[in-house]
Amino acid sequence: MKYRQRPLYIRLILLMTGLSLFALAVVLTVNASLGLSPWDIFHQGLASKLNITIGQASIGVGLIIILINFIFREKIGIGTVLNTFYIGFLMDRIFQSGVIPVAHDLPTGLLMLFLGLTIVGIASYFYLSAGLGAGPRDGLMVILTKKTGINVAYVRNMIEITATIFGFFLGGTLGIGTVISALTVGFFIRFFFKVFHFDINELEHDYLDAEGIRNIFGKNTEVIYEEKEVGE
């Protein structure tokens, strides 16, 4: 609950910082040339077949998943929408700038890969602590878990394996980096949650529904009432 009581501008700063770091992390892992994470394999493969950028593929896939989430009444937040558009947009800008070099040897590639995974861990804290809604792909995971009754861990694995297979056959890069990412990204996220003293169990998101909008833009009447009593 404490995360939801922060001023909106603070939450938006946290959100945009996290999304910006995610975009940077994706570019680092792509340019590491060692193989991508499952969704990025799919985005890269789709981009190669449609002759579009990886960022545009990411946005397109995100929009389709948001539509699926909406049809199945999964909640959507400000963070869900910005996740869909902003990460893909910023990824393309970073790629186009050439500020992140492409690795041409294994040591450089590994360094870039682990730097990218480190940034993912930090980005996850900023993005989630904003409490403004999960990304569309996480929403899809929730829907499939509810509909199938299968354990969420198995559903997550099923989604990522499916994305990897389709991405690979579309031309996405599968390699040792894919395996490293799959095995270690959870460690990086957990590590930085501890560094920032972030308890995921205390987190509640505000979505674009009546309650969420009241909490985001309205005043916390309980806090006002308590302050009035103290003043009296």
DSSP assignment, residue 51?
T
pLDDT of residue 75: 87
DSSP string, 183-217: HHHHHHHHHHHHHTT--GGG-----SSHHHHHHHH
User: Bigger pLDDT: 81 or 142?
Assistant: 81
Report how far residue 42's alpha carbon sits from residue 171's, in angstroms, rounded to the nearest whole number: 8
- Give the single-character DSSP code of 3: G
Task: Decide: 4 and 215 in contact? Cβ < 8 Å.
Answer: yes
DSSP state at residue 175 = S
Lowest mean pLDDT, pick from 98-102, 137-141, 187-191, 214-218:
214-218
pLDDT tens, residue by residue, 151-178: 877 888 889 899 999 999 999 999 999 9
Beta-carbon contacts of 5 under 8 Å, excluding residues fewer than 6 positions away, are 220, 223
For residue 219, the model assigns a pLDDT of 54
pLDDT at 146: 81
Residue with tokens 């199945």: 72
What pLDDT band is residue 227 in, cutting at 50, 70 and 90? very low
Buried b (16+ CB within 10 A) or exposed e, 35-46: bbbbbbbbbbbb
The confidence score (pLDDT) of residue 221 equals: 38
pLDDT at 223: 42
pLDDT at 1: 53
Higher pLDDT, 142 or 46: 46
**What is the rounded CA–CA span in Å between residue 169 and residue 25?**
24
pLDDT of 21 over the 90 cut: yes
In this predicted model, what pLDDT tens digit does every residue of 68-104 receive, in sequence order?
Answer: 988 988 889 999 999 999 999 999 999 999 999 999 9
Tokens linked to 115: 């730097």
| pTM for this prediction | 0.86
Give the pair of three-digit tokens for residue 100: 């992140």
Q: How confident is the model at residue 145 (pLDDT cuts 50, 70, 90)?
A: confident
DSSP state string for 59-123: HHHHHHHHHHHHHTT----HHHHHHHHHHHHHHHHHHHHT-SPPP-SHHHHHHHHHHHHHHHHHH
